[in-house]
Amino acid sequence: MIAPARAAAFDILINVARNQGHSDELLRGSAVDRLSPQDRNLTTNLVMGTLRWQLLLDQRITSLLARPETKLPLPVQMALRLGAFQLIFLDRIPVHAAIGESVELAKQGESKFAAGMVNAILRKIASSAKLTQSVPQIDAVAAHPEWLVARWAENYGSEAAKAICLYDQQQPPVTLRLVDEQSEASLLSNGIELAPGDFLASARRVVRGDVTASAAFRSGAVRIQDEGSQLIAELADHGQRILDLCAAPGGKTAILAERNPEAVITACDVSSRRLNSMRELLAGSPGAERIRYLHADATTFQLEPEYDLILCDAPCSGTGTIARNPEIRHRLAPADLKRQQAKQLAILSSAMQGLAPGGRLIYSTCSLEPEENEEVVERCVDRAPGMALQSFARVEGLPATAFSGHYLRTIPGIHPCDGFFAAQIISTRTA
Ligand SMILES: C[S@@+](CC[C@H](N)C(=O)[O-])C[C@H]1O[C@@H](n2cnc3c(N)ncnc32)[C@H](O)[C@@H]1O
């Protein structure tokens, strides 16, 4: 017998390893939704924890293999990781459950021969010390690929690189966007405890309680959205004809619609699936009737210069969101950054064509990598006459360290949110 939470976690981890989905989306899928609240929590902890500590788990497992060079079948490898994670990091899991169920999981597929080996390795791990008490910084660093840590140290300094790694290894805060004033009272009456956001008036941190089960969340009166993501949409500020060029899943579009009650907003995305779920998600939110949806590829888009505000929240490596998407570190390779850059250059160049004289464009990513951020912006602005970079006004409550030169940059662990980058480009053309 395999407990529902372990079976669900195992399936999600296998799918993530096969590149068949992202952990956060799979954890919101119907298989997990059917579980009890306790099982949902355990599934989330197992999936996120195993992905966060995968590199160290693999080191420990490999050191115990009779032939460390042998490539194990994926179900066996995953059963070992899942078992080792529970034995090393979780306090309340009985050892016999962690080992016994991992052995059963390893028997799935064509890997029946491996049960004895999984049993033996997990028993050895169980007999050695746990790591739970305090995870030393060195382990948080070692839980990331060396090449990523090295580039963060080079770009931001070694203390910042350690702070990013530590942040990535913990469950990040659940932050809400309050859509109206009643929603806070409604959450409180549902027993949900909130604290103010770190720097935005409409942001709240969840201290206790399951927001996703509340009426306010189900009706769309509150959204879960990192404070850094909310910040980018607030920095975008005001416009009349607004283009949100890479809009799905729509968190920033929703804030633009709330804050610009007169504006018409065009929300564009290359993914019709993501655009459709965005339309459903935002259906009841303020200003939804002023959002037009456009399915288009922004790399080849021919735009007329008609928008006074453009948000270009480009697809990126996502290295600022590894705390929420722990598998990014396993999927990303150094060469991906140049590939992302090529796409970002094409998208930003198209976006700039859509800017009306005197208009403003915000380019943003959730990447910490200069190739995807300032390099893209500077190359595009340099080759576009009539475009200039402009610094942001300071945001009260946000440390001055988040602003450098023309740019805004939040760094996880240094600032209390995901890592975001933003630049503001203005059109100096006259009509
Ligand atoms: C970082 S996400 C946007 C997040 C969104 N702005 C929000 O706040 O919810 C990037 C989006 O860009 C879309 N995208 C990727 N390539 C694109 C392209 N060539 N044209 C338009 N959209 C694209 C992806 O489908 C994805 O939805």
Q: How confident is the model at residue 128 (pLDDT cuts 50, 70, 90)?
A: confident
pLDDT in tens, 155-193: 999 999 999 999 999 999 999 999 888 899 999 999 999
pLDDT tops 60 at residue 300: yes
What is the average per-residue pLDDT within 322-327? 97
The pLDDT-based confidence of 111 (bands split at 50, 70, 90) is: low
Confidence class of residue 29 from pLDDT cuts 50, 70 and 90? very high
CB 76 within 8 A of CB 111: yes
CA–centroid distance, residue 366 to ligand 1 (Å): 11
User: ∠150-74-102 over CA atoms, to 5°?
Assistant: 105
Q: How, if at all, do strands 307-313 and 241-244 pair?
A: parallel
Domains and CATH numbers, the chain: 4-126 (1.10.940.10), 137-168 (no CATH), 175-224 (3.30.70.1170), 229-427 (3.40.50.150)
Complex ipTM > 0.85: yes
Q: Which atom of ligand 1 is nearest to the CA of 252?
A: 8
Ligand 1, CB within 6 Å, residue ranges? 229, 246-252, 268-271, 274, 297-299, 313, 315, 347
Q: How confident is the model at residue 264 (pLDDT cuts 50, 70, 90)?
A: very high
Strands (E), 188-304: 193-196, 203-208, 222-224, 241-244, 264-269, 291-295
Q: How far is the CA of 268 from the centre of ligand 1 (A)?
A: 8
Ligand 1 centroid – CA 136 distance (Å): 36
> Is 366 tagged catalytic?
yes
pLDDT of residue 131: 54
pLDDT grade for 312, boundaries at 50, 70 and 90: very high
Q: Per-residue pLDDT for 385 more than 90?
A: yes
The answer to whether residue 387 scores a pLDDT higher than 60 is: yes
Of 258, 270, 281, best ligand 1 pocket probe by most atoms within 8 Å of the beta carbon: 270
Question: What is d(CA 31, CA 18) in angstroms, rounded to the nearest whole number?
Answer: 18
Reported as a single tens digit per residue, the pLDDT across 329-352 is 999 999 999 999 999 999 999 999
Q: Position of tokens 């009509």?
A: 431
Top mutation candidate among 226, 230, 269 for ligand 1, by most atoms within 8 Å of CB:
269
> Residue 221: which pLDDT band, with cuts at 50, 70 and 90?
confident
Looking only at the bridges linking them, the beta strands covering 241-244 and 222-224 are unpaired
Average pLDDT over residues 107-118: 80
Q: What per-residue confidence (pLDDT) applies to 219?
A: 84
% of the chain exceeding 90 in pLDDT: 86
What confidence score (pLDDT) does residue 407 get? 97
pLDDT in tens, 32-77: 999 999 999 999 999 999 999 999 999 999 999 999 998 899 999 9
Q: Which of 148-157, 186-195, 207-216 has the lowest mean pLDDT?
A: 207-216
Q: Is the pLDDT of residue 408 over 60?
A: yes
Q: What is the pLDDT, as a whole number, of residue 129?
A: 59
Write down the catalytic residue from 268, 312, 366, 380.
Answer: 366
Distance 193 CA to ligand 1 centre (A): 32
- Tell me the pLDDT band of 135, cut-offs 50, 70 and 90: low
Q: Fill in the DSSP letter of residue 412.
A: B
Selection from 343, 250, 340 nearest residue 301 by Cα: 343
Mean predicted lDDT score pLDDT of the chain: 94
Report whether pLDDT(138) > 70: no
Give me the pLDDT at residue 294, please. 97
